[in-house]
Chains A and B, each alone.
Chain A
Amino acid sequence: DTGVSQNPRHKITKRGQNVTFRCDPISEHNRLYWYRQTLGQGPEFLTYFQNEAQLEKSRLLSDRFSAERPKGSFSTLEIQRTEQGDSAMYLCASSLGRVTEAFFGQGTRLTVV
């Protein structure tokens, strides 16, 4: 499978715990994006990488959120001290260039209890 891969697919965690999600983009894609989607809403932009550089972050990305893309390959999104409001689907996408379409992974569904 050469698509965007996200792990885990589902994560249930207790409030206050830390969680980390992984995204493996399509191998030749230099751009990687993280989005968050809640029920009944469209995906909301969180952050964007070009190669290993994090070039843009949304104001939605509080200090508890951090993302990395070491060596410009896979990316991780960590949420510290999770809150119930963090419950959502976290989507990763990658693209080859700015005007090309982004390909999305299946998402990681986070439930904070």
Chain B
Amino acid sequence: AQSVAQPEDQVNVAEGNPLTVKCTYSVSGNPYLFWYVQYPNRGLQFLLKYITGDNLVKGSYGFEAEFNKSQTSFHLKKPSALVSDSALYFCAVRGPLTGGGNKLTFGTGTQLKVEL
């Protein structure tokens, strides 16, 4: 079975500082990894994905994520946080086709709060 862990319920950061939102995963075989963001009472918006290739993936709104196979991690990063980045962030994994690969499995989410 595939799973995702987001160890921090909330991350607080000052505007202009770098931010990191942590994610670790468990899946059989090669993972397909995704980050989504959710604003209040809204659906999820896709930020970025890792399928294969370069371990550093760049996505929307200046976000990037680093895939680390040995640590089974896919941490979300941004060099300089904005107050408008404050939202709920979800990491998700999709496994190989034979291992539940038709669905995304989400973590419990990390609330990011960026303060002035």
- How many angstroms between the C-alpha atoms of A91 and B104 in the bound complex? 13
How far is it, in angstroms, between the C-alpha of A79 and the C-alpha of B37 when the chains are bound?
A: 28
- Using a Cβ cutoff of 8 Å, how many contacts connect chains A and B? 56
Say yes or no: is B94 at the interface (Cβ < 8 Å to chain A): yes
Q: Which residues of B contact A101 (CB under 8 A)?
A: 34, 46, 49
Question: Does B74 count as interface, using CB distance less than 8 angstroms?
Answer: no
A106 within 8 A of B: yes
**A1-42 contact mask (Cβ, 8 Å, vs B): 1 or 0:** 000101000000000000000000000000001000000111
Assembly CA distance A1 to B63 (angstroms): 25
Tally A residues with Cβ within 8 Å of B.
25
**Is the pair B44, A91 in contact by a Cβ cutoff of 8 Å?**
yes
A104 within 8 A of B: yes
Interface membership of B20, Cβ < 8 A: no
Q: Does A102 contact B51, Cβ atoms closer than 8 Å?
A: no
A42-B90, A42-B107 known; A98+B101 contact, CB < 8 A: yes
Q: How far is the CA of A98 from the CA of B104 in the complex (A)?
A: 10
- Residues facing A in B5-42 (CB within 8 A) are 32, 34, 36, 41-42
Q: Which B residues are CB-close (under 8 A) to A55?
A: 102
Q: Which of A98, A104, A105 lies in contact with B94, CB distance below 8 A? A: A98
The 6 closest A-B pairs by CB, nearest first: A42-B106, A104-B43, A45-B103, A104-B44, A101-B46, A106-B43
B residues sitting closer than 8 Å to A (CB atoms) are 4, 32, 34, 36, 41-46, 49, 51, 90, 92, 94, 97, 101-109
